[in-house]
Structure formats: C-alpha cells, structure tokens
Amino acid sequence: MPKHEKGTPKEIANRSKTRGLQKLRWYCEMCQKQCRDQNGFKCHLTSEAHQRQLLLFAENEKRYISEFSGEFLRNFMGILKSQFGTRRVRANEVYQAYIKDKNHIHMNSTMWHSLTGLVQWLGNKGKCKIDQNEKGWYIQYIDYEEENRKQDEQKRVKQEIDDEMKQQELIDAQLARAKEVHGEQDYTEGTELVRNEDEKIALELNLNKKQSLETLQKPVAVLGESVFAKSKVKKEERDSRSRSRSRSPHSRWNTKSRDYDGHSSNRPSTSKHDDRSTKKSALDEIREQEERRKEKKNRKDYWLCPGIVVKVVTKKLGEDYYKAKGVVRELVDDYTAKVKIDDVTIKLDQAHVETVIPQVGREMMIVNGAYRGTKATLLKIDEKAYSIALKLSSGICKGREITVPYEDASKLAV
C-alpha cells in the first residue's frame, strides 16, 4: 500500500501516532518495534525478522532478561530518587512518570510481570519501604547514602571525643608531673628593680685602646667566663644596694609605698601573697589553651538542640504564644526546630526564640561555645554581667565549674 501524500489528514494522523506513546502491550522489546493495533502486532509476531530475534533469545534467555530487568530497575529507581525523594508516594505515579519516555524498557520484557510484583520485590530486597491500602501500593525510597553519611558523621564525632579524651589524659599526666616537680622546688618571688636617682650610668667603650697580645691569645671560653663573672658580681652589688635602700626609713621609695615628697599614696601595697595569687600556674595556662581551642571549634551561629526549653520572643504568632515557653522536640535544620507549646507543635526559627534560665540547682544544657552539648548544673546567676556559673555534670570535664553568657545555655526539659 503506497504511503499517503505529505500534508494530507491521514499522513498527519499517522505522524502524530508515531511521535506519541502508544499501547505498551503492542511493543516488541527484542525487535524494538511499536505496533499500532492488535492486528499489526500479530503480523509482526509471525514475521521472519521477529522469528530470527526469538532464535537469538532462545540461545541465552537469562542474559537478555537480566539485562532488560537491570536497565528497567536503574531507570525506575532513578526517577523515584530524583523526582520523589524519600517521601511516600503511590507506585503507579512513579510508573507513569517512568513510561513517559518513549524509548524506555518495557516491563513485559523483564522478570516482573506486573507492578505489584515489582513493588513486592523492592520491599523484600530492602530497597524501598512498601505498604498497601485501598488506593493501592505505596513505596518510599530508602536513602542509604544519607544513612552512610550519618554513620560517618557519628564515627567522626566519636573519634574527636576519643582524641579529646586522650589529649585530656595526656594533659592530666603532664600536670601531675609538673605538680611533683613544683612541689619539690622552692620558688623565689621576683622583686621590683629599684635604682638610685643620684647614681649615674657610665659606659666605657675604650675604642682607642688596643688589646695586648696576651689578651688576644686567651681562649674564647675564658673571655666569656670573665665577662659573665663580672656581670654577676655587678648584679649582686646592685641587689645589695637596693636591699639596703629598701630597709632605710629615709628612702624615697620604701616598702610602705610613699610618694616622692614623703606623703603616703593611695596606691595599694603589693605583697608576695598577692603576686602568688595572680601568677598563673601551668595547669591554668594549659586549661585556658584547651578551652580556647574548644571555643574556636564549637562556637557556631546556630544553637538549637532537642530537649531544651525555649521562650517565644516574636509577636507574629499572636499574644497567646508571645513569651510562652516550649520544648524543642526535633530539628528541621540547623536554624529551625519543632517546638511543643502546651499541646501544639509549632515550627519556629532560631531568631524567634531565646534560651531559658531556670532556678539555681536545676539541670541545663550548654548549647554553644567550648562545652557545647554538655549537661551542667546551675550554681549562680550574675545579673550584672548577664552570665551564669555552671558545674559540668557530664563529659570528660565532669565536675569543672565554668561561667558562660545567658545565651550559651538553656534549661533542660524534665
């Protein structure tokens, strides 16, 4: 039968049929031929070309079926993951989105004879969560990559905690050794340098004086020793003069801290006890370095965490919820959380809530700073400095007392 002329209604109808998606049951996957009706499909099945393809299929049918099934499954799961994500959706919706592509792999050429069989196979293999109701089968994609990322994050956090514990043990060992050494030795306190104003400083350069041959032949070590010996003697003489002046009652600068005219000044006297209290020990310096490192690492611009009590500070929700307190149930992201106020759960942004300070003796959670995520007990509230004193009740630094601002800790829900 000759083809219809271009532009005729019949030719346009045939072209539109060829372009569009036709019935899947009249498609031959082996020959990749789409038939328009049942009569044409029967004619194709009896054709010589189809019979040759069947002979090839009969030689290794499992290989062809596995290839078609694998290609079908990859495309189907790709659409489920990219278009629907991890939300629960009807299986027929995913299948309709899959067959929109005219060149897709048809299900009648795979190991699954129906969509129900495919859904049940996905559920048995653990690739999707499936359930059935009066509307049909529902599937939900399981994102193992996200779970693997969470597991890797948990391993990383655990490794960091282990490293911190090891570092803390090393610091404790060093501090114990330092205490032993410091306990055996006696420390001498530094004294203020006192110089007599009448004493003149003279420098003797002797630029024109030439050294003798005997001096030049001396070894370098001997010259160095003599120089250091002289400087040591001069230093002892200056110390003795300063001690004698400090003991003299008529000295301008004596231990009673008088001004130059002899009158008593208002400056507080400094004693050895005060110097000893202000001097930082090795333990304090190491602890401060560790806290600065933790502060830099754990200080974030977000602080919400589950289980804490927060107060609503926005009026956009109405007067009923303004300054109401609620418990953070779960986090939507780093800056958004679901807060339960009375019997209502509301999704709130971090900017719309603030931390809550309980009574002294109650449990709190440190939500930001060096000890982020650590539970503590409230010891004292300093209203002038807008800070609170806490005693850590968990973690590797349990028992340590710290001071943090109001916004770095919040009340724990009972």
May I ask the CATH class of domain 16-144?
mainly alpha
- In terms of CATH architecture, what is 298-411? Roll (2.30)
Neighbours of 68 (CB within 10 A): 19
pLDDT of residue 355: 93
Q: Which residue has the tokens 């010996």?
A: 229
Name every residue whose Cβ is closer than 8 Å to that of residue 318 and which is 6 or more positions away in sequence: none
pLDDT of residue 389: 93
pLDDT tens digits for the chain (414 residues)?
Answer: 567 777 787 777 666 666 555 666 677 777 767 777 777 778 888 888 777 777 777 777 778 788 888 888 988 988 888 888 888 899 999 988 888 776 677 787 788 888 898 999 988 888 888 998 888 899 988 887 777 788 888 888 888 888 888 888 888 888 888 877 776 555 455 666 666 777 677 766 665 655 565 665 555 444 444 444 455 555 566 666 555 544 444 443 343 333 333 334 444 444 444 444 445 677 777 777 887 888 888 888 889 999 999 999 988 888 888 889 999 999 988 888 999 988 888 888 898 999 999 999 999 999 998 888 889 999 999 988 889 999 998 877 788 888 999 999 999 987
DSSP 8-state secondary structure symbol assigned to residue 83: I
The percent helix, strand, coil of the chain (3-state, each to 5) is 45, 20, 40
Q: Which two tokens stand for residue 210?
A: 């030439």
Q: Which two tokens stand for residue 143?
A: 């994102």
Q: Which two tokens stand for residue 364?
A: 């709190």
Q: Which helix (H) or strand (E) holds 128?
A: strand 128-133
Chain centre to alpha carbon of residue 290: 18
pLDDT of residue 247: 45
Sheet with 375-382, strands from edge to edge, namely 401-405, 387-392, 375-382, 363-366, 409-411
Domain boundaries, the chain: 16-144, 298-411
CA–CA gap between residue 354 and residue 328 (Å, rounded): 12
pLDDT of residue 381: 92
154, burial (CB in 10 Å: exposed 0-12, middle 13-18, buried 19+): exposed
DSSP 8-state secondary structure symbol assigned to residue 409: E
CA–CA gap between residue 140 and residue 122 (Å, rounded): 10
pLDDT of residue 290: 80
Question: Model pTM greater than 0.85?
Answer: no
